[in-house]
Amino acid sequence: MPWRERLKNLNDGDQLIHVSHRLKGSLGQTDIDHYEIINGTGDVVGYVKLEDHTDIKAPHTQSITLTQKNENGEEVHHETWYPKN
């Protein structure tokens, strides 16, 4: 399932706007992306942080963590899953 389908309480007309990207870890093994959720009138109604981590040691397991917050910064959804490598 694509990560965008895991988001909660999205309304028709809501859009995800990519705000920033950075790498974390000594070898850049974690990609961190931040998004804003914008409603149909252009207001920010939430935030998303997506972390994609790959272990640097065998078997190089990948994990993806999704954290979604509302416009007040309160967490509304947090999920980690392990896609098949």
Judge whether residue 27 has pLDDT over 90.
no
Q: Helix or strand or coil: residue 63?
A: strand
pLDDT tier for residue 5 given thresholds of 50, 70 and 90: very high
pLDDT of 76 reads 97
Question: Which of 39, 78, 32 lies closest to 16 in space, CA to CA?
Answer: 39
Q: What is the pTM of this model?
A: 0.90
Q: How confident is the model at residue 59 (pLDDT cuts 50, 70, 90)?
A: confident
85 pLDDT above the threshold of 70: no
Q: Is 35's pLDDT higher than 90?
A: yes
- Decide if pLDDT at 46 tops 80: yes
Cβ proximity of 46 and 36 under 8 Å: yes
In the chain, what are the domain boundaries? Answer: 3-81
